[in-house]
Amino acid sequence: MKLSLPDDSVPVKEMFERFFTTEATPARVRAAEPNGFDADLWRELIALDAPFMRLSEAAGGGGMSLFDTCLMMEQAGRRLAPAPLAESVVAMRILGEIGGETAREWIEKVRSGETVLALALQPTQPGRAQLVPGGAVAQAVLTFDGTQVAIEIPNAALAAPSTLGGAAIGVFKPGEGKILPLSGNADAAAIFAAGIEEWKLLTSAALIGMSREVLGMAAAYACERIAFGAPIGTYQGISHPLANDIVDADGAEMLLWKTLHDIAAGAPEAAAEISGLFWWASRTATSSVAHGLHTFGGYGLTNEYDLQLYHRRAKAWALVLGDPKQELIRAGRRRYLGQAASLPDAGLVDLDFSPPQGGKELADETRALFKKILDPQKHHLFEQNFESHDWEVHRAMGAAGLLYPNWPEKWGGRGADADSTRASLAVWQEVGYAGLPRSTTAMIGHIVQQFGTPELQDEVLLRMGRGEISACLGYTEPSGGSDAFAAKTRAVRDGDDWVINGQKMFTSGAEYASYVIMITRTDPDAPKHKGITIFLVPLDHPGIEIHPVHTFMDERTNATFYADVRIPDRYRMGPVNAGAKVLAAALSLEHGGGYFHKYIIDMEEAALAWAREEMRDGKPAIEDSDVLARLAKARIEADVGEGLSAKAMWTRLAGEKDLAFGPASKVFATEAFISNAADLMDLTAPYSLLRGKEGLSVIEKGYRHATATTIYGGSSEVMRSQVAERRLGMPRSRG
């Protein structure tokens, strides 16, 4: 796995960041209106050889990778660069690949700095006009009529109508000018088609940069603008939409990087990913500028503020290709119907999305033990609930040191490195044994190792490691919901003991557990974040009752009651009234969207199988555009969720600054799980109503299971607040 910006690409990003920040200022963007072209900026780009980045070295260009060119376009998008850069990069590459004297002549004409060669994004038909970005300032248009690639020189300058967002759009009527056929390469049609795919990638990168920039502007304004005595960024109605958008924008970048990686690797899904990326990037830009403008309020509407510049271009830059939903449908055709596409050569893409490959030996050992002890008829495999827990399996894994492989041997682990631990635990999901008590106990055990007294560590850690006991979470209270710091359960000091009274809700796994990690209030007069203390409470003490609570997800959770429960001080973790630090460490271990995207893929695959068999209007449902779009949307959002999860994992592995990537992954994946489960239920109705273990039942089960995922492990609201605060630098929006 490698998801950092490659070392060789850092100077490229920094150079164009400096250039566009200095040269594509808001003043110059405004001055370039209404057509959206700055001739001086264009000549500066020519001097940098920017339009020739993708032209091969043999043809006199830079021979740059598609990855580095996308970095340039992201910076161009951030500053709304008023020049037809994406179109020119693609046009120059097409000319260079086709070759021939005419192509070479026009490359040099563009290099002179006084010529613009526009790119017709749609196949041309004589007399049928189309809008061409850059056409208003171009001396010629590069075209493809379905058979021949050519340069057409209009008899007069193209009409330049007023448009939403610049882009120097010209009205081009093919066949009215001088046509110069390009015949150097027999595969010219494929080269041109690949160029259009490259344009989608470059424009997607620009839209990602645009989205991130406007969200940064909105977040900064929300920190400064005071309303009702507080910065407006403290209000979740402002901060949460911006948090959603930055998660989507970061997900778009991961999707872009994954698409470039897959093009370079020749992956069969790459063509579908290009179309899906373009749809996602355009959708994200539209949402980002809308919420950014809303944050600025009436000021965002004025010409003096920059928001209106972004708001108009977020739509205009994408829509020159047409309705982005057509790309969503095209993604479906490519992925599910095998529609062919010509793809550009990506060049070097120094990224790796594969999970770390180390630890094969421990993974093989884990797999072998599971094969020996698991019985598919007995152990409820692939069920994500505590009821699938089996003590025989748990103890066998503990005896082998495979419950918590990274724990020290003295506490029942193997002292395994991170790669070996990850590889071993991945086998649990592979074989379908949930082992949920293992997951909660692993987290609690880490907290005991970090904050527990030596006496407490001696009492519980080895027994946990051996699989003899488990522990559960006692966070939520009936009146507090996801606000863990609002705990009312009281712990009062009585000599060397503490006396606990209160109630916890949703204490899942308590029926198996020997201990519960509990948030208590030890100073009711202190601010709620400063008056809590964390204990690990033995569940066999007098005064504790565990009452089952059953959910419509076919799961059992619990309500637990504590009446005058007396425990020694050794069960306290961390200082008195300083439980916030302990709780923060505990919650950080929960955050992540790790596997929810896999549930979306399972549902999508079930719906796909249905669509291949179901008939609509006399033909298979899979041929219906709406069906293709909805299946493609589910898969795209699963890919975004997977990318965000990979980003969170890589950040931890590489020791990079964590800007709430775990919470971002969690909030996106769970919300996407809910929305896609509901939509796929609708799509495949009425058969999706049937419960069971085969076919569409995975969608029905997903629909029920998805509902709670935005609640446990940290609610979406809490996750969004963390993203707003840590990723966007906004003020705290929680009490």
Kindly state the DSSP code that residue 688 receives in the 8-state scheme.
Answer: G
Report the DSSP beta bridge partners of residue 128: 125
Q: Which helix (H) or strand (E) holds 165?
A: none
pLDDT over 60 at 459, yes or no: yes
> Can you give the pTM of this predicted structure?
0.90
Look at 85-94, 196-205, 344-353, 428-437 and tell me which has the smallest mean pLDDT.
Answer: 428-437
Instruction: For residues 365 and 397, give the distance between their C-alpha atoms in angstroms, rounded to a whole number.
Output: 11
Q: Are 252 and 282 in contact (CB under 8 A)?
A: no
**Predicted pLDDT at 386:** 82
pLDDT over 90 at 168, yes or no: yes
pLDDT tier at 403, thresholds 50, 70, 90: very high
**Predicted pLDDT at 392:** 93
Looking at residues 390-405, what average pLDDT do you find? Answer: 94
Report the DSSP beta bridge partners of residue 141: 118, 152
**Predicted pLDDT at 554:** 78
**Predicted pLDDT at 429:** 83
- Burial code (b: 16+ CB inside 10 Å, e: under 16) for 159-190 equals ebeebebbbbbbebbbeebebbebbbbeebbe
pLDDT over 70 at 207, yes or no: yes
Instruction: For residues 129 and 197, give the distance between their C-alpha atoms in angstroms, rounded to a whole number.
Output: 22
DSSP-derived 3-state class of residue 557: strand
Q: Are 336 and 608 in contact (CB under 8 A)?
A: yes
pLDDT tier at 1, thresholds 50, 70, 90: confident
Domain 7-190 CATH assignment equals 2.40.128.20: no
For the domain made up of 471-589, give the CATH fold. Butyryl-CoA Dehydrogenase, subunit A; domain 2 (2.40.110)
Query: Would you give the distance in Å from CA 577 to the centre of its chain?
Result: 37
Q: For strand 170-172 and strand 130-132, is the pairing parallel, antiparallel, or unpaired? A: antiparallel
Q: Are 557 and 549 in contact (CB under 8 A)?
A: yes
End-to-end CA distance of the chain: give it in Å, rounded.
38
In the CATH scheme, what is the code of domain 596-726? 1.20.140.10
Length of the chain: 735
**Predicted pLDDT at 482:** 59
How many other CB atoms are found less than 10 A from the CB of residue 147?
A: 9
**Predicted pLDDT at 466:** 96
Instruction: List pLDDT tens digits, range 570-593.
Output: 999 999 998 888 887 776 655 555
**Predicted pLDDT at 645:** 92
pLDDT over 80 at 325, yes or no: yes
pLDDT tier at 534, thresholds 50, 70, 90: very high
Instruction: For residues 241 and 234, give the distance between their C-alpha atoms in angstroms, rounded to a whole number.
Output: 13
Instruction: For residues 560 and 547, give the distance between their C-alpha atoms in angstroms, rounded to a whole number.
Output: 6
Backbone angles phi, psi at 6, to 5 degrees: -55, 145
Q: Which helix (H) or strand (E) holds 146?
A: none
pLDDT over 60 at 628, yes or no: yes
Of 478, 501, 472, give the one whose Cα is nearest residue 567: 501
Of 80, 62, 59, 266, give the one whose Cα is nearest residue 168: 80
Per-residue tokens: 669? 């994946």
Instruction: List pLDDT tens digits, range 350-387.
Output: 999 887 676 789 999 999 999 999 988 787 777 777 88
Instruction: List pLDDT tens digits, range 677-726.
Output: 999 999 999 999 999 878 899 999 999 989 888 887 778 898 999 999 99
Which stretch, 311-325, 568-582, 640-654, has highest mean pLDDT?
311-325
Backbone angles phi, psi at 187, to 5 degrees: -95, 30
DSSP string, 31-66: HTTTTT--HHHHHHHHHTTGGGTTS-GGGTS----H
How many other CB atoms are found less than 10 A from the CB of residue 730?
A: 24
pLDDT over 60 at 407, yes or no: yes
pLDDT over 60 at 437, yes or no: yes
Give me the residue spans of the domains in the chain. 7-190, 471-589, 596-726
**Predicted pLDDT at 590:** 55
- Return the percentage of the chain with pLDDT > 70, whole number: 97
Q: Are 78 and 210 in contact (CB under 8 A)?
A: yes
Kindly state the DSSP code that residue 714 receives in the 8-state scheme.
Answer: S
Radius of gyration of the chain (CA): 29
Instruction: For residues 479 and 484, give the distance between their C-alpha atoms in angstroms, rounded to a whole number.
Output: 10
DSSP-derived 3-state class of residue 492: strand
Half-sphere exposure of 621 (CA within 13 A, CB side): 16
Kindly state the DSSP code that residue 301 receives in the 8-state scheme.
Answer: G
**Predicted pLDDT at 655:** 86
DSSP-derived 3-state class of residue 658: coil
Q: Are 460 and 448 in contact (CB under 8 A)?
A: yes
Half-sphere exposure of 92 (CA within 13 A, CB side): 30
**Predicted pLDDT at 114:** 86
Q: Are 312 and 320 in contact (CB under 8 A)?
A: no
